Chain A
Amino acid sequence: MLAILQKLEEKRDQAKLGGGQARIDAQHRKGRLTARERIDVLVDPGSFEELDTYVEHNCIDFGMQDQVIPGDGVVTGSGTINGRLVFVFSQDFTVFGGSLSERHAQKICKIMDMAMKVGAPVIGLNDSGGARIQEGVASLAGYAEVFQRNVMASGVIPQISVIMGPCAGGAVYSPAMTDFIFMVKDSSYMFVTGPDVVKTVTNEVVTQEELGGAVTHTTKSGVADVAFENDIEALLSVREFVDFLPLSNRQDVPERPTGDAWDRNEASLDTLIPDSANKPYDMKELIAKVVDEGDFFEVQPTHAPNIVTCFARIEGRTIGIVANQPMALAGVLDINSSKKAARFVRFCDAFDIPIITFVDVPGFLPGTAQEHNGIIKHGAKLLFAYAEATVPKITVITRKAYGGAYDVMSSKHLRGDLNYAWPTAEIAVMGAKGAVEIIFRKDIGDKDKIAARTAEYEERFANPFVAASKGFIDEVIMPQTTRRRIAQGLRKLRNKQLENPWKKHDNIPL
């Protein structure tokens, strides 16, 4: 018995050391933590229970049989974040470069299956050189097993990927199918083919960072959601992020006590909308003043900044916010912002998170760049997402709600539950100038007439009352009461029941 215990101790110690002290030091020199250190930062102290510590690979080719390290390059298990259960896998770059073997994949699949069964999020900390080439197709099979589970888990449990090192080739598709991807600046990258292959095939010279670094993916491509400065910041932020999410689609949104009064008045919101219709203002000020404690977690803050998507809380309960941002491109809807918001809306709907929409949208962005790249289909994604969503939906129109974009932005017609407008709201087919130039085309040469017609159009439509008279706006509210209205609305909608007709699945315009 004693011998067994001694052996267990030895095995544990060996597993803890991963690929050895030299490799651990190398990892540290790059400003990266080891797989186990990352887990220590991510979960509550002492809460992590490791599984499959002694799993070894089964490869006997290319001398691999002589190199066996317990755990096989990935640490898996479960722990808690602020007391709530999460499942975690953390790839160990010090063991075979974190490469994915058949057994490595099996370990990941095991915790994913368990997470699905019990209903708890899976957080993947990715730091892997890619497939275990020595294993050949067994490694590819491993990837596919993980992919299949990513898809099955999608919409059932939240899946979060944190890219903390390399992630290339087929390996990118597992994170790609999870709900959120976080990256660490200067130390992580994701691409299907690396700079060397790019050079050979297309003659393009590009660095890893430019091709698929954290900044590239969180600004240009929109593949990743948030870029963090370093491992510590990324992992602590994931803790905060998880606090917003329900554990699964079977559980309600989490509730956390707050000292912030539900009926807090914000007098300064009455002056948020500038006098001039062309002057921008910061939609994030509205968000900060409406939500609990001014605290919100933005998803994709640097990609398509003309729309803001974030999680926040009202009365301690999670909400998702979608808001046009007049500070960027006048808050217009374009391909990127439509895709960004559509995905966010669908996540919220899948996990029963109420959606609050703040609308100030001048329309869709015109131009060949948009049309030729398919704004029709991409814009339709957002429309589709809002229309199919059955969660509580509260909409507040702060200023412009023009044209088709009005319809898209969680309008009454898309089953909006409570649609409010500020007195500054303008709900119309388009801005007065454009409208008059079409309706009164024959008067276009006559400046005075056009000015008079424009004034007339503004008088008629540059307000919320026409829409309100048709019942498309439920109530015109004072901006300063916005938080109270939303809080009250959410209380009333807590037991909302709405179901879409049975179908195998819908056919969203992808």
Chain B
Amino acid sequence: MFDKILIANRGEIACRVIRTAKRMGIKTVAVYSDADARAKHVQMADEAVRLGPPPAGESYLLADAIIAACKATGAQAVHPGYGFLSERTSFAQALEDAGIAFIGPPVNAIAAMGDKIESKKLAKEAGVNVVPGFLGEIADTDEAVKIAGEIGYPVMMKASAGGGGKGMRLAYSEKDVREGFEATKREGLASFGDDRVFIEKFIESPRHIEIQLIGDKHGNILYLNERECSVQRRHQKVVEEAPSPFVTPAMRKAMGEQAVALARAVGYFSAGTVELIVSGADTTGQGFYFLEMNTRLQVEHPVTEYITGLDLVEQMIRVAYGEKLAFTQDEVQLKGWSIENRVYAEDPYRGFLPSTGRLSRYRPPSGQENVRVDDGVYEGSEISMFYDPMIAKLVTYGETREEAIDRQIAALDNFEIDGIGHNVDFLSALMQHPRFRSGNITTGFIAEEYPEGFKGAPADARLIARLAAVAGMIASVEADRAGLIDGQLAPSSAVATTTAANDWVVTLDGTEHLVSIGVGAVTVDGEVVVVDAPYVPGQRLVEATVDDDPLIIRVERKRTGWRFTTRGASHSLRVLRPAVNDLAHHMIEKVPPDLSRFLLCPMPGLVTAVNVAEGDAVEAGQPLAIVEAMKMENILRAEKSGKVKAVMAKAGESLAVDAVILEFE
């Protein structure tokens, strides 16, 4: 076996590879950019080599520097993770030339599959069903418009070298193609160094299902069952699971065998994934089409690991070393159900805008059975604007799909993140959503279910009553402790412990509830709630048991109130003694200032264009400015028609979140 390998990646995947390598007794070398000098993967590895400045083009994409690092450290093989250099033939070739093993597929397979146009041709030849589209190179916008018209709308424009949701744009009309084609090219160039774009028909109400493959250098290729990744937002996967609730054993076999056939056609080995688009309406088991093959480890591989009991990274390393697969197709397991949620640094309450900054608090769930957290950060890490906004992958396992989902809900309640915006509430809402739980999902799920954006998961009356009960208990604990301060006038603080002080009016999201904390019994609006909520002042995570159900709440003290976060939503609470609460009714509700007259910068980023000038009349939906963040161009559109009064920002300016870009009359 290899003595030492280098991981040419960062973040969670680098950490994940290092973990397996360590378990196998292999020494590890990390590489890093200046932005990652203190990153978790650097600390976990036995050695670390600096590559360069933060932009990927000057660090993680420098093949030469990585090969030099291998030579300097004596690493015999490179695991590329996903993204960055993982699907660059030039890199795999350069490694081969330098006599360093590539823990991945053969160069020719990467070449064949890495080019989306080439791979479709190959798939077609191998007899795999493909989606209609134009496979040639497209010169300019006019040609793109013509081709799109021939295929028929809607169409998808994709950067040829793209992946992971970057460099993809959906067009429902000629206008969309005209607006988006150049941007797609630019994104392709910026992210992957390749500005070729292709266009294909977009299948509506589709499901995204993929087959995991593993092959060795001795001609064995096996399929490790499917994953479903239909829950996506703007083509970025959010929730993945294995198996798929849609796939029957017969369909699984058909899909698996086709995928194997394709892999065999290119002499594939190592781990790979054949992505298929599946029509959810087609119940024949034949409605799946080849989308692309990813010649690398996928982000969502842990769900496959849970249901098959395999360690895919270990398999990849063994294959790269030349070992034969130690199992056959018949021995591939499919046991239980696994779900993965991607925790992103994106704020669902602000239109999923990327958020960057310091993780001032980061406490993932730990020590729980059948819960796995793959992350590359720790408390105090920086989520930088240079890389992917994924913070962690939360993976759960259960005997059934429902069990795996419920484990997610509990684990998400346990997930503490502060300092940046994140999507934990949104993920919990997805896990509770009846349609998700029914398994009736498509790639349009999020767009269809959250057309107005996300406002927090709905909380039913029972949950509200339980939260009020916990709030009352916490208030009593705080009041009792407050009475323990020294310098008491009376021998003991008799006032604070009278029964009257144990009645509280909890105002939760604007509605009042009378909570009485008695000895061993709590009532909320007269109804008994059995609560056990151990709490010590200052505690941030309350693990309560209410009416025999566990309820985990993240609590945050605010002046004269609290913020409770649980079950996919945050609630503001005010807890007052009844007498004080009566007086609070005299207070005048203050209306926050009207910000709708302003276009605010929704995220920290760089203004690349301001499309309007002072005095311009604008229509609703008209692009006003473009802000680039996280390598994505975000077009800010007018929410309603109006006239521009003043423009405060100009192109080339770096803005903070909520900075005013322009003002309307």
Q: Which residue from A30, A33, A82 sits with its C-beta under 8 Å from B483? A: A82
Taking a contact as CB atoms under 8 Å apart, the answer to whether A256 and B486 are in contact is yes
Q: Which residue from A30, A37, A268, A285 sits with its C-beta under 8 Å from B583? A: A37
Of the candidate stretches A5-13, A288-296, A396-404, A485-493, the one touching chain B is A288-296
Complex CA gap A285/B115 in Å reads 47
Taking a contact as CB atoms under 8 Å apart, the answer to whether B486 and A229 are in contact is no
Q: Does B203 contact A (CB under 8 A)?
A: no
Q: Which residue from B484, B487, B495, B536 sits with its C-beta under 8 Å from A45? A: B495
Q: Does B538 contact A (CB under 8 A)?
A: yes
Of the candidate stretches B193-201, B291-299, B378-386, the one touching chain A is B378-386
Q: Does B284 contact A (CB under 8 A)?
A: no
Taking a contact as CB atoms under 8 Å apart, the answer to whether A83 and B495 are in contact is yes
Complex CA gap A151/B557 in Å reads 36
Of the candidate stretches B89-97, B243-251, B420-428, B586-594, the one touching chain A is B586-594
Taking a contact as CB atoms under 8 Å apart, the answer to whether A237 and B38 are in contact is no
Taking a contact as CB atoms under 8 Å apart, the answer to whether B587 and A230 are in contact is yes
* Known A84-B488, A267-B379: A232·B538 in contact at CB below 8 Å: no
Taking a contact as CB atoms under 8 Å apart, the answer to whether B380 and A270 are in contact is yes
Taking a contact as CB atoms under 8 Å apart, the answer to whether A230 and B588 are in contact is yes
Interface string of B455-491 (1 = CB under 8 A from A): 0000000000000000000000000011111111110
Question: From residue 55 to 112 of chain A, which have CB atoms closer than 8 A to chain B?
Answer: 80, 82-85
Residues of chain B within 8 A (CB-CB) of A259 are: 536-539
Residues of chain B within 8 A (CB-CB) of A243 are: 482, 485
Taking a contact as CB atoms under 8 Å apart, the answer to whether A41 and B580 are in contact is yes
Taking a contact as CB atoms under 8 Å apart, the answer to whether A28 and B495 are in contact is no
Complex CA gap A231/B489 in Å reads 26
Complex CA gap A32/B488 in Å reads 31
Q: Does A247 contact B (CB under 8 A)?
A: yes
Q: Which residue from B362, B382, B487, B560 sits with its C-beta under 8 Å from A232? A: B560
Interface string of B558-594 (1 = CB under 8 A from A): 0110000000000000001101100110111010000
Which residue on A lies nearest to B482, using beta carbons?
A82
Interface string of A244-272 (1 = CB under 8 A from B): 00010001001111111000000111111
A328 nearest CB across to chain B (Å): 14
Taking a contact as CB atoms under 8 Å apart, the answer to whether A31 and B495 are in contact is no
Which residue on B lies nearest to A86, using beta carbons?
B489
Q: Which residue from B358, B379, B496, B577 sits with its C-beta under 8 Å from A281? A: B358
Q: Does B183 contact A (CB under 8 A)?
A: no
Q: Does A233 contact B (CB under 8 A)?
A: yes
Dominant secondary structure at the A interface = loop
Q: Does A135 contact B (CB under 8 A)?
A: no
B269 nearest CB across to chain A (Å): 40
Q: Does A407 contact B (CB under 8 A)?
A: no
Taking a contact as CB atoms under 8 Å apart, the answer to whether B500 and A232 are in contact is no
Which residue on B lies nearest to A317, using beta carbons?
B486
Q: Which residue from A258, A272, A292, A295 sits with its C-beta under 8 Å from B380? A: A272
Taking a contact as CB atoms under 8 Å apart, the answer to whether A233 and B559 are in contact is yes
* Known A243-B482, A281-B358, A292-B538: A41·B379 in contact at CB below 8 Å: no
Residues of chain A within 8 A (CB-CB) of B590 are: 185-186, 229
Complex CA gap A335/B288 in Å reads 71
Q: Does A46 contact B (CB under 8 A)?
A: yes
Q: Does A275 contact B (CB under 8 A)?
A: yes
Taking a contact as CB atoms under 8 Å apart, the answer to whether A45 and B577 are in contact is yes
Complex CA gap A423/B77 in Å reads 37
Q: Which residue from A82, A230, A251 sits with its C-beta under 8 Å from B496? A: A82
Taking a contact as CB atoms under 8 Å apart, the answer to whether B358 and A47 are in contact is no
Taking a contact as CB atoms under 8 Å apart, the answer to whether B486 and A254 are in contact is yes
Q: Which residue from B34, B360, B588 sits with its C-beta under 8 Å from A275? A: B34
> How many A-B Cβ pairs are below 8 Å?
126
Taking a contact as CB atoms under 8 Å apart, the answer to whether A41 and B493 are in contact is no
Indicate the member of A85, A236, A237, A295 with the most B CB atoms within 10 Å: A236
Residues of chain A within 8 A (CB-CB) of B496 are: 44, 82-83
Taking a contact as CB atoms under 8 Å apart, the answer to whether B486 and A268 are in contact is no
A335 nearest CB across to chain B (Å): 26
Residues of chain B within 8 A (CB-CB) of A232 are: 560, 576, 580, 583-584, 587
Q: Does A40 contact B (CB under 8 A)?
A: yes
Question: From residue 301 to 333 of chain A, which have CB atoms closer than 8 A to chain B?
Answer: none
Taking a contact as CB atoms under 8 Å apart, the answer to whether A258 and B588 are in contact is no
Residues of chain A within 8 A (CB-CB) of B379 are: 267-268
Q: Does B638 contact A (CB under 8 A)?
A: no
A76 nearest CB across to chain B (Å): 18
Q: Does B501 contact A (CB under 8 A)?
A: yes
* Known A37-B583, A236-B560, A237-B560: A45·B501 in contact at CB below 8 Å: yes
Q: Does B37 contact A (CB under 8 A)?
A: yes
B653 nearest CB across to chain A (Å): 18
Interface string of B400-417 (1 = CB under 8 A from A): 000000000000000000
Complex CA gap A448/B500 in Å reads 76
Taking a contact as CB atoms under 8 Å apart, the answer to whether B586 and A256 are in contact is no
Which residue on A lies nearest to B362, using beta carbons?
A268
Which residue on A lies nearest to B486, using beta carbons?
A255
Complex CA gap A247/B486 in Å reads 11
Complex CA gap A32/B501 in Å reads 24
Residues of chain B within 8 A (CB-CB) of A80 are: 489-490, 495
Taking a contact as CB atoms under 8 Å apart, the answer to whether B485 and A258 are in contact is no
Residues of chain A within 8 A (CB-CB) of B488 are: 83-84
Taking a contact as CB atoms under 8 Å apart, the answer to whether A31 and B481 are in contact is no
Complex CA gap A295/B539 in Å reads 11
Indicate the member of A45, A186, A267, A295 with the most B CB atoms within 10 Å: A45
Complex CA gap A229/B584 in Å reads 12
Residues of chain B within 8 A (CB-CB) of A267 are: 378-380
Q: Which residue from B484, B495, B587 sits with its C-beta under 8 Å from A256? A: B484
Taking a contact as CB atoms under 8 Å apart, the answer to whether A45 and B538 are in contact is no
Taking a contact as CB atoms under 8 Å apart, the answer to whether B579 and A40 are in contact is yes
Which residue on A lies nearest to B535, using beta carbons?
A259
Residues of chain A within 8 A (CB-CB) of B38 are: 271, 275
Complex CA gap A387/B38 in Å reads 39
Q: Which residue from A41, A230, A281, A293 sits with its C-beta under 8 Å from B537? A: A293
Residues of chain A within 8 A (CB-CB) of B483 are: 82-83
Taking a contact as CB atoms under 8 Å apart, the answer to whether A28 and B586 are in contact is yes
B321 nearest CB across to chain A (Å): 36
Complex CA gap A237/B557 in Å reads 13
B157 nearest CB across to chain A (Å): 38
Taking a contact as CB atoms under 8 Å apart, the answer to whether A257 and B481 are in contact is yes
B618 nearest CB across to chain A (Å): 33
Residues of chain A within 8 A (CB-CB) of B538 are: 258-260, 292-295
Question: From residue 352 to 398 of chain B, which have CB atoms closer than 8 A to chain A?
Answer: 358-362, 378-382
Taking a contact as CB atoms under 8 Å apart, the answer to whether A82 and B360 are in contact is no
Residues of chain A within 8 A (CB-CB) of B485 are: 82-84, 243, 254-256
Taking a contact as CB atoms under 8 Å apart, the answer to whether B583 and A251 are in contact is no
Which residue on B lies nearest to A40, using beta carbons?
B579
A183 nearest CB across to chain B (Å): 15
Which residue on A lies nearest to B574, using beta carbons?
A232
Taking a contact as CB atoms under 8 Å apart, the answer to whether B560 and A254 are in contact is no
Complex CA gap A185/B592 in Å reads 13
Which residue on B lies nearest to A270, using beta carbons?
B380
Taking a contact as CB atoms under 8 Å apart, the answer to whether B487 and A254 are in contact is yes
Taking a contact as CB atoms under 8 Å apart, the answer to whether B583 and A84 are in contact is no
Complex CA gap A30/B538 in Å reads 36
Complex CA gap A162/B360 in Å reads 34
Interface string of A216-244 (1 = CB under 8 A from B): 00000000000011111100110000010
Q: Can you report 30 residue pairs joining A to B where beta carbons are below 8 Å apart?
A: A31-B587, A33-B583, A44-B496, A80-B495, A83-B492, A83-B496, A84-B485, A84-B487, A84-B489, A185-B590, A186-B590, A229-B587, A230-B587, A231-B586, A232-B587, A233-B559, A236-B560, A247-B487, A251-B487, A256-B481, A258-B537, A259-B539, A260-B538, A268-B360, A268-B361, A271-B380, A274-B382, A282-B358, A293-B538, A295-B538
14 A-B pairs besides A83-B485, A258-B537, A271-B382 with CB distance below 8 A are A30-B588, A32-B586, A40-B580, A44-B495, A45-B498, A47-B495, A80-B490, A232-B560, A232-B576, A254-B485, A257-B484, A268-B360, A268-B380, A272-B380
Closest 9 A/B residue pairs (Cβ): A293-B538, A268-B380, A31-B588, A83-B493, A259-B536, A271-B380, A268-B379, A44-B495, A83-B488
